[in-house]
Structure 1
Amino acid sequence: MRSRLVGIVAGVLALGLLTPSVAAADQQFSVPYGYAGLTAAAAAELAHPYSAPPGANNWSCRPTAAHPDPVVLVHGASANMTENWQTISPLLANNGYCVFALTYGVPAGTPFPIDQIGGRNPMEQSAAELGAFIDRVLRATRAAKVAVVGHSEGSLMPDYYVKFLGGAAKVRDYVAMTPLWNGSNVAHLADFYVLARMFGLGPVVDLIVDAAFPAARQFLTGSDFLKKLGDPNVPGVRYTTVMTTHDEAVVPYTSGFMAGATNVVLQDLCPQDFAGHGMVAFDPNATQVVLNALDSAHASPVQCSPVPVSP
């Protein structure tokens, strides 16, 4: 009798391990916002580097009919999946999505802790890396398409995948937080780069930048990468952009406007939202915009929580 009971228990456990889990809000994760989110990001990075954010990368997850597209989170420049998504990943998981995240753009052979600084490789390489990850997500979940939610570089780089690497057939929704479709002229670096080329110093600047962060010069207004990307709008993909007038990295913030997209400026919704570039990923107003973009049929009004000035 005892051996039979053990066998039954083992069988039940095995069934539980082998049966794919359906995405649902039955397991609730803590969702920290604002400075609490930034603190959670720092704590996770210190205690568990390389870890997926809460709710992400459950490879047995199966999308529901309500949310058939798994969500792929694409972090920003110099960030990684651990620190960028401590708010949005658990929020999406709590709302019944299958959530996946990756750290991309780390040059091969980079030692710890420098390998925690992602998004450094040329964006063409990172786009191919993202494409391979999305293929893995589609195979695991058996979904037809994914939704992409990107922040900073992660709002721009995936469009190269969509436009040039076959991603248009695999991405349904594309939510871009602090996007820079027309690049950035932060600290007049784009102007400086133009002058450097005029005086024949372009190759020298390229050599210096590429030694540490090859993707950096691709962000600049007028870069060769942006010229190749051209009009970022790809037919068949639903775009939503989330911008902040207090963006200190995307200058001007209006670089995030895209013709044909649903363009959202946080301060048009919530004048007391002072989120800067990095804080947007932890902003309760911005995250509600993300939820609404992914499920417009059940959109909820943004409640306009005040967000203090970013550090």
Structure 2
Amino acid sequence: MGWRATVVAAVLAIGSALSTGPAGAEPFPVPYNLFVQDEFTNPGGSAAGSNDWSCRPTPEHPNPVVLVHGTGANRLNMWTTFAPLLANEGYCVFALTFGNYADQPYPVSAIGGMARAEDSAAQIGDFVDEVLAATGAARVDILGISQGSVVPNYFVKYLGGAAKVDKYVSLGPAWNGSALTGPDGGATILGLGTDDARGVLPFCQACLQFLPASQFIAKLHAGGLYAPGVTYTNIMTRYDELILPYTSGYVEAPNATNIVVQDGCPSDFSDHLALAASRVAAGHVLNALDPAHPRPVPCVFVAPFVGG
């Protein structure tokens, strides 16, 4: 076994050891491990604890939580940790697959975040309306990761979402885009445009829109990034290998809180994806969604790629 395989095996073993809590302690098992997946046994399904359309919010948690995945992910494979965790906490939890080619056969139909960001934002807005109508709630909270940390804000700012969203929590946010290299994120070097990928990357029409010099990123910042009346929390990791630099998600404002997980927990080695299965990130998320009842955020070892 080569050294790379040895390192990967060790990371997986540690992640597995940290993956779950006591058996039977909660209605839904919460795997803190991204490799615990139901995608192939439940294709097109929803993560445990999510999309129960009979759920009614409680006075303790009056806002349903809408989960918004990242590029190439979907409503199931990105949320196998947070959907059951939030449901166990008493939230009504809903998740959609957006920006996918729904008319294509599986598994192509399960690859989300491909459409242009403006179209995905409208799709997210329609889903929020469905959640509000089904639950009777006045507003929702958003929990997004990666592309899903940014696109809903277009709905908030430009498609009437400011009156429908209360708390907006982002994991690995890309508010200023993600740079490949150079001031425009590598678009000039690669000979690509900075916004319209339809002629260059037709399968992923959103991809170039998250370069720092894109028109989409500029429009998000026009008149101020954040919408008044919405409370934002940005949760970042120094080891983010997809949002470059990781401080792309660090934007100050009176209605925004910026958190770098290593500031409070040096043993957290989350990379970008591991934020979706991290006990440390989960502690910050729970406090952001329920700031009236803060709890200590755990500090544990979190493995890159896996979580913990």
Distance 1:205 1:27, change over 3 A: closer
Equivalent residue of 2:98, what SS? coil
Instruction: Please tell me whether Structure 1 or Structure 2 has the larger radius of gyration of its CA atoms.
Output: 1
* 1:273 equivalenced with 2:264 (yes/no): no
Offset from partner CA, 1:23-57 (integer Å, 9 cap, x none): xxx96100011xxx21222xx11111111111011
Summarize the alignment of residues 61-210 of structure 1 with structure 2, pairs less than 5 Å apart: 61-186=55-180, 190-195=184-189, 202=193, 206-210=197-201
1:251 partner letter: L
After superposition, the Cα gap between the structure-2 partners of 1:128 and 1:207, relative to the gap in structure 1 and judged at 3 Å, is closer
Equivalenced residue count is 278
Per-residue CA deviation, residues 4-28 of structure 1 (Å, 9 max, x unaligned), is xxxxxxxxxxxxxxxxxxxxxx961
Residue 211 in structure 1 maps to residue 207 in structure 2: no
Contact 2:195 2:208 in 1 (8 A): no
Out of 226, 238, 243, which is 2:231 matched to? 238
Q: Which residue of 2 aligns with 1:38?
A: 34
Shift of residue 192 of structure 1?
Answer: 2.6
Q: Among residues 25, 38, 47, which one is paired with 2:41 in the alignment?
A: 47
Instruction: Flag the structure with higher helix content.
Output: 1
Segments of structure 2 that go 5 or more residues without pairing to the other structure are 1-24
Change (3 A) 1:122 1:137: same
RMSD: 2.0
Question: CA contact under 8 A between 2:187 and 2:194: conserved in structure 1?
Answer: no
The secondary structure found in structure 2 opposite 1:46 is coil
Alpha-carbon distance in 2 for matches of 1:204, 1:299: 40
Query: Does the alignment pair 1:257 with 2:250?
Result: yes
How far is 1:194 from its partner? 2.9
Give, in whole Å, the separation in 2 of the partners of 1:238 and 1:178.
Answer: 17
Structure 1 residues 233 and 132, CA gap change in structure 2 (3 angstroms) = same
Asked if structure 2 preserves the Cα contact closer than 8 Å seen for 1:186 and 1:249, the reply is: no
* Deviation for aligned residue 1:95: 0.4
How far is the alpha carbon of 1:120 from its aligned partner? Answer: 0.3
